[in-house]
Amino acid sequence: GFLQFYEEENHYLIHVNEKFNYEKLVIAHELGHFFLHKNVNTFKLANCSSVLENKLEHQADVFASEILLTDEMLTNA
């Protein structure tokens, strides 16, 4: 997935690879980046620190799981 911001129009675009089967997961993950990291230049960061990049990816994954997993899913597992 990919989250892109068009500052001039104040629009965000989430692109999901059409070959990927978990569209909701990708969208939730990218929303995590939006809400948690919208002021971070992730392209620049990726070239500077793989540890920090992995931390941001993990945070977006946790955000996605919080959105997608219901209490019932967690208690009946």
**Residues with catalytic roles:** 30
Buried b (16+ CB within 10 A) or exposed e, 30-69: bbbbeeebeeeeeeeeeeeeeeeeeebbebbeebbeeeee
Tens of pLDDT, residues 18-27: 776 788 898 8
Query: What is the sign of the dihedral through the CA atoms of 1, 30, 47 and 39?
Result: positive
> For residue 64, what pLDDT is reported?
95
**pLDDT < 70 regions, the chain:** 2, 20, 42-43, 46, 77
Q: What is the pLDDT of residue 34?
A: 87
What is the pLDDT at residue 68? 94
